Amino acid sequence: TGGHTVGRLVGILTNRDVRFASDPAQKVYELMTRENLITVKENVDQDEAKRLLHKHRIEKLVVVDRNGNCVGLITVKDIEKSQLNPHATKDAQGRLRAAAATSVGDDGFERAERLIDAGVDLLVIDTA
């Protein structure tokens, strides 16, 4: 962690940072971008994220909470997918809805519990 508190954003490691690294023993902390990080709050809208990505010529925006903890990542590809699939079904947090199937019986019940714990939006029970 380079002496930093775990949880607080201290940098970002991207393909640009590691592309020409020649020492496999080099630590992530030494390679990552630590200065001039462009971050956004959790309530950023897509237009603002897109504007910041373009303005700073970057492909990733780190999403932080009010304490500076990393809570997500917005990428150029995320925005492109959103524009290509504007009618994708999403939850209140803007995440794609997920469905899963399981069977009856003990194994199916355990799988159902794990899926529910993971936050699945729709659970299909196959009784055939």
What DSSP letter does each residue of 42-93 carry, written as one string?
Answer: TT--HHHHHHHHHHHT-SEEEEE-TTSBEEEEEEHHHHHHHHH-TT--B-TT
Is the pTM higher than 0.75? The answer reads: no
> Is 89 in contact with 96 (CB distance < 8 Å)?
yes
Look at residue 126 and tell me whether its pLDDT is greater than 60: yes
> Is 74 in contact with 82 (CB distance < 8 Å)?
no
Q: For 77-124, what is each residue's pLDDT tens digit?
A: 989 988 898 888 888 877 889 999 999 988 999 999 999 999 999 999
Query: What span, in angstroms and rounded, lies between the C-alpha atoms of 55 and 110?
Result: 48
Report the pLDDT averaged over residues 60-86: 90
CATH: 3.10.20.30, 3.30.460.90, 3.10.580.10, 3.20.20.10. Which one for 1-87? 3.10.580.10
Task: Say whether 118 sits in a helix, a strand or coil.
Answer: helix
Task: Say whether 115 sits in a helix, a strand or coil.
Answer: helix
Look at residue 1 and tell me whether its pLDDT is greater than 60: no
Of all residues in the chain, what percent carry a pLDDT higher than 90? 52
Query: What span, in angstroms and rounded, lies between the C-alpha atoms of 22 and 18?
Result: 9
Which DSSP string do the residues of 25-43 spell out, in sequence order?
Answer: T--HHHHSB-SS--EEETT
- Delimit the CATH 3.10.580.10 region(s) of the chain: 1-87
